[in-house]
Structure formats: structure tokens, C-alpha cells
Amino acid sequence: MAIGIYLFRETKKKPEIVVDYYSTDKRVSLSILEELIGKHKKKGLIDALVKKGKYNFYSSEISEKNNLYLGFILEQDEDLKSQKEIFEEIEDKIIDNYKSIGKKEMENFLEETLHSIMDLIEKLKNPELIRDEINKRTKQLLDENKIDEAKKLIDLGETVPGELSELIKDAEDYLKDEKYKKAKKSYLKAAERAKLIQEDRIASFLESRGEKVGTFPDLKDQREDLMDDIMDALDNFEREQLHIYKSLIQKVNVLMKIAEVFNQEEKYAALSKILYEMKKASTLGADLYNLHKKITTQFEEDLK
């Protein structure tokens, strides 16, 4: 599971930690931050990963304007895909809090966030933990003499955790088979079950996941349209020549984001290489265009 979370930024001299929190002695080092920044900048990656020993160091660009990145440390046997999705939920909150609260408050926020994520991941893996939580809440209700509420929670505790686990499994199976409507429906049903037992954090995650999966058909259509646009533009290379790659960079960026959504690591890596070459070509094209204008001006003005 995630054992550390860190917010860092790129500066002119070197990357620097803004704020971080760790649940063990393992820390992210300056050399790892530099390696992550190198992957973001030199390869044009939105998400970067560095593997060191038994740990994965992950980072995501969350504010291009502020050169701000959010990262976390995972043990290598953990599922990066599922944890990335959970961390995506908190990126907006971190950006909102970045300048509005002090460093100590941000440290507390990261600590609460990490523990909340760890708790969520464990509960999604093991419905018995949810039953244990229900038993604790039931005991509290009984201590408060809220008998009817306790009975209702006991009844829900006997069925809902198992139903929740099955619905999540169904959703993941549908997702693998690209049956996105059914996957969305199962995620949202699971969210409703989570609400019944007052597991609001799980419900929020599953609702977010369901809505995201619901966008996949449109994203696939968008991907096909972008690929058609790019191929058409490349076919017209002779007419567009100097400016073609500048106009295509944004489309490749969108394709990378779509590949990331579908966790298509090979396509993402291939697109990142294409993006790198396109940026070089765009720079060369701009230089050629400037030379072209200079030469044209010299012919038009100096050789009248």
C-alpha cells in the first residue's frame, strides 16, 4: 500500500519538497525527484514512475502553472492502477489548499489523506474489515441505547459487505470486457450499498469511478477522431510542412491522457516517444519558418 505522499515543485536549481508525509522510515530522495522531473520534462510525461529496489516512486503533474507535482511511494507488489485512481480524487483538493493553508496544516492534510486512502484500499480488498467497522458502530449504538438503529445496522452488516464485494468484482470484470455501461451500473449499485452502511468514503470513490467509466465510450470515439485527424494531417504534410507538428502536439497530449485513462501503458509510452520527436520537429519547423521569413524579407526588401 502507499507508505508516503509528497508534494514537490520544480525550481531553476533543483526539485524541492513543498510538504510530505510518510508512514515508515522510507523517504523520497533528491535524486529520485530529479529522475521524476526528468521523465516529466524530457519525455513529456504527465505521470512518471521510478522503480528503486522494492519500491515504486510515482508522481503526477497537478499544476503546470506552478510546476507542482504530487507523488507517492508504493511497495512494488501493490496495484499502481487502483491507487492512482484514488490519488486522482485528492489532486483538486491539494491544489485548492496549496496556497490557502500553512505548511503544518498541509502536513496534517496529507497525513489524514494517506491514512484515509490506506483504509479505503484495505476495505475494498477485504469486506471483513467493513463488517468489523459495522460491529464497532453497532456496539456504539447499543451503548447509546439506540436499539432500533443497532438492529437495522446488524441486518445490513449480514448482507451488504458481501453484496458490495460482488458488485465491485462484477464491475471490474465488465470493465475488462469493455462493457462500460454495465460496469458503470455495477459501480453505482455498489456505491448505493456503501451508503446504506454509512461507508461514505467508499461510496464517493465508487460513484466517481462509475461516472469516469461512463465516459469511456465517448473517449474511445474521441481517440478515433483524433487519430483520423492526425493521419489526415500527416497525409497533407507537403502542404502544411513547417507548422504541422505544432498543430498536432495538443492532439497527441489528449491521446496520452486517454491512454492513461484506459491504463494502456504501452500506447502511453509509444505516444510519449512520438510527442518527444514532434516537439523536436516543431522546434526545427519554427526555426525553418523564421529563416524562411528572413530570406523572403531579404529578397523582397534588400534585392528590390
At residue 8, φ and ψ (nearest 5 deg) are: -140, 165
Q: How confident is the model at residue 180 (pLDDT cuts 50, 70, 90)?
A: very high
Residue 207 banded pLDDT, cuts 50, 70, 90: confident
211-227 confidence digits (pLDDT tens): 888 999 999 899 888 88
d(CA 264, CA 268): 6
Tell me which long-range contacts 156-164 makes (C-beta under 8 A, separation of at least 24): 156/196, 156/197, 157/131, 157/197, 160/130, 160/193, 160/196, 160/197, 161/127, 161/128, 161/130, 161/131, 161/134, 161/197, 162/127, 163/193, 164/127, 164/130, 164/190, 164/193, 164/194, 164/202
State the CB neighbour count (10 A cutoff) for residue 248.
22
Predicted confidence at residue 89, as pLDDT, reads 67
> pTM score, two decimals?
0.62
Q: Which tops the pLDDT comparison, 15 or 132?
A: 15
What is the mean predicted confidence (pLDDT) over 181-193? 92
Please count the CA atoms within 13 angstroms of the CA of 126 that sit on its side-chain side.
Answer: 7
Please name which of 270, 257, 226 lies closest in space to residue 46, comparing C-alpha atoms: 257
The pLDDT value given to residue 59: 86
